[in-house]
Chain A
Amino acid sequence: MMISGRLLAVMRKEFIHIIRDPRSLVLIFLWPVIMVLLYGTAITFDIKEIRIGVLDFDHSRVSRELLRDLTASDYFRISGYLDKRSEIDDGFLKGRFTAVLVIPAGFEKQKALNTGRIQLIVDGSNSNTATVVIQYFKSFCMLHQWESGVAVSAPLSLHPRVWYNPDLKSAHFIVPGLIAVILMMICAQLTSITLAREWETGTFEQILVSPVLPHEIILGKLAPYLLLSLSVSVVTLAFSVAVFKVPFRGSLLLLLVLSIVYIYASLSIGVLISTRARTQQVALLASQILTLLPSFLLSGFIFPVLYMPLVLKAVTYLVPARYYLVIIRGIMLKGVGPGDLAQPCLLLVLFGTFLIAFSIHRFKTVLEKAPWAG
């Protein structure tokens, strides 16, 4: 495709629009940073200082040792002692405890015979939290037995080791995904609004009587926003690494190149919207609906695509964030190289090119039908 003077003219004009509106510009950069800060800290599956109620019937040296070890870790905090089993329910209802540890009478003696048993009762009203609490407590017990010098009498011992995110920190997993979500939203919004504004103000009609061609308008408008979105992604990325200490193991250059591809695909959604939306309000609403929910729910951001029902799984193929999540998590957390990311990259290029070609085509037919009133 030849780069004509008209295409350059549209690009230059669009650049002027962007720099003449510093308030929006600040917002465009600030908003992703705030989102990362808020969501990065709010969406977390990490649990600390689990509130434990203690019902100790043994009152022995060993039981005191157990409780001492429990509080020594960052993960548990004893927030009350109970006297009777009947008090457990009340404690849960009032929200005083997340779990209650029951140490039966005779625990010390049984422990010496390697048959010691304790009970953990967990508030299951938040199943996610409950699962994590049980996991933490199991690990704690393994550690505790180890320290007490009691060997586990199992024929097989399991030593799980987690790669890429050894501490299983939520932020490492959430923040890169968040960048994908934010970029998709910003890209779709910016392009759909800039095109809708020309419909709304009537300037479209004016440039349509000039020799400018539909693809020159669309590509001329995309280019400045591609650059803008790329700088937003760099700022957001730098912020995430600095504040959340998200590791960056792969190649920055590779991530930037693939980000351009992703931004291109996301911008194309905005172009598609603007073939329909005639006002900035409609464009804004449509781009939010089309990007926010899919990128949150159907991209693998939080819920893994692998375990989705078949129909939803099929839908995820239409969400560009799905591919970018593989790319950004792969590069940042695992240090994946270009060879393994060729497929998502190719699919993003196809996605964007198809939408833009379709939009240019639609754009031509829409013009012939004359959408304006009067």
Chain B
Amino acid sequence: MEVQIQNLSRAFGTFRALDQVNLDIRQGESLSLIGPDGAGKTTLLRILCGLLRPDSGKCLIAGKDVLGDQRFLKSLIGYMPQRFSLYPDLTVSENLRFFADLFQVSASDRAARTKRLLAFSGLGPFLKRKAADLSGGMKQKLALSCTLIHTPAILFLDEPTTGVDPVSRREFWNILEDLHMQGVTLLVTTPYMDEAGRCDRVALLNRGRILATEAPGRFSGFFGGLLFELRCEALFRAVKALRSDEKFDSVQGFGDRIHVAGRGSETGLVSRIRSVLAREKIQVESLSRIPAGIEDVFVDLIRRQDS
């Protein structure tokens, strides 16, 4: 195990940011951590980086306690905080140099690494540009490059693509996948479900507790009930009518479709949905049972934990 988190708890005053968290990450694995705001994602990463002390429990990285030998740990991990701020008045190359200096990257390694980082980030033509003048996506790539300058074996990334345009997001994840292929262990928090699905495993965190950890394709098993996808006219009215029926656990709009979850027999639920809509004189276009995706499971698990 590369990263082991054991019974980790941390409170801020009366707020329990982390509550008995257990999580293992294998060497070379990529794991994404998803959860609503305030779930404890950032707190967990900060403890892993040794920036924050846990109240109880412990974290091991490569078998060593994160509160132990800082020099060893800091050479092993790379951390990109959510609010990664470069120095806006420094140029791309000055920012890179500063972090290379801080991590004491030797002169012989430096040139080759900088060249490789510039190649994959596409920052080569912007070396003399100030960080303040880069686009959002470019800034994140520079931030990642600064995090990678000392070739960490384990990367902790806190919402690295929040506020970045979709094209840059995809490019950023392609870079992460390359790193993954090279054997870097990744722990990424993200609010985007599609991004989470690109990792080996996904962990759901809510109110300081891990609700599930599974490969992206195997989440449906966690779903406590049956899920139906409905296409119909008058979506807004349909959602409202279905929500007023206590038989259904959750009714969520997904673009032009509605996901309806409930318990009981499949035929019973189907006829119930049809009768609710018939009463509202809403025409059904299609209605079928579907396997639950990560997002459905996520919503379901949180609903069950909160109730």
Residues of A at under 8 Å CB distance from B? Answer: 5-6, 8-10, 12-13, 16-17, 20-21, 201-203, 205-212, 367-368, 370, 374
B52 within 8 A of A: yes
Which of chain B's residues 39-64 have a Cβ closer than 8 Å to chain A?
Answer: 42-43, 46, 49-53
Q: Are the CB atoms of A5 and B101 closer together than 8 Å?
A: yes
Residues of B at under 8 Å CB distance from A? Answer: 42-43, 46, 49-53, 70-71, 74-75, 77-79, 81, 83-87, 89-90, 94, 97-99, 101-104, 146
Chain B residues in 8 Å Cβ range of A12:
98, 101
Q: With the chains together, A281 CA to B42 CA distance in Å?
A: 27
Q: Are the CB atoms of A17 and B89 closer together than 8 Å?
A: yes
Q: With the chains together, A210 CA to B146 CA distance in Å?
A: 11
Closest residue to A6 on the B side, CB-wise?
B102
Q: With the chains together, A207 CA to B83 CA distance in Å?
A: 13
Chain A residues in 8 Å Cβ range of B103:
210-211
Q: Are the CB atoms of A374 and B79 closer together than 8 Å?
A: no
Q: Are the CB atoms of B46 and A370 closer together than 8 Å?
A: yes
CB contact between B53 and one of A6, A16, A370 (< 8 Å): that residue: A370
Q: Are the CB atoms of A13 and B104 closer together than 8 Å?
A: no
Closest residue to A21 on the B side, CB-wise?
B89
Q: With the chains together, A357 CA to B74 CA distance in Å?
A: 25
Q: With the chains together, A207 CA to B77 CA distance in Å?
A: 13
Name 11 interchain pairs, CB-CB below 8 A, sorted by A.
Answer: A5-B101, A13-B94, A202-B81, A202-B83, A206-B146, A208-B51, A209-B74, A209-B78, A210-B99, A211-B75, A211-B104
- Asked whether A206 and B84 contact (CB < 8 A) given A21-B89, A367-B51, the answer is yes
Closest residue to A367 on the B side, CB-wise?
B51
Q: With the chains together, A183 CA to B52 CA distance in Å?
A: 37
- Report B51 CB to chain A, min CB distance, Å: 6
Chain B residues in 8 Å Cβ range of A367:
51
Chain B CB within 10 Å — which of A16, A210, A212 has the most? A210
Q: Are the CB atoms of A370 and B94 closer together than 8 Å?
A: no
Closest 9 CB pairs of A and B: A9-B101, A210-B102, A202-B83, A20-B89, A201-B85, A209-B79, A370-B52, A202-B85, A203-B85
Chain B residues in 8 Å Cβ range of A205:
51, 81, 83
Closest residue to A368 on the B side, CB-wise?
B53
CB contact between A17 and one of B51, B52, B84, B87 (< 8 Å): that residue: B87
Q: With the chains together, A208 CA to B87 CA distance in Å?
A: 15
- Report A10 CB to chain B, min CB distance, Å: 8
Closest residue to B102 on the A side, CB-wise?
A210
Q: With the chains together, A209 CA to B149 CA distance in Å?
A: 13
Q: With the chains together, A34 CA to B103 CA distance in Å?
A: 43
Extra contacts besides A12-B98, A370-B46 (12): CB < 8 Å: A8-B101, A9-B97, A16-B87, A17-B87, A20-B89, A202-B83, A209-B51, A209-B74, A210-B99, A211-B70, A211-B103, A374-B43
Q: Are the CB atoms of B51 and A16 closer together than 8 Å?
A: no
Chain A residues in 8 Å Cβ range of B42:
374
Closest residue to B37 on the A side, CB-wise?
A374
Closest residue to B101 on the A side, CB-wise?
A9
Chain B residues in 8 Å Cβ range of A16:
87, 89-90, 94
- Report B141 CB to chain A, min CB distance, Å: 15
Q: With the chains together, A5 CA to B105 CA distance in Å?
A: 10
- Asked whether A209 and B87 contact (CB < 8 A) given A6-B102, A13-B98, A370-B52, the answer is no
Closest residue to B38 on the A side, CB-wise?
A374
Closest residue to B95 on the A side, CB-wise?
A13
Chain A residues in 8 Å Cβ range of B98:
9, 12-13
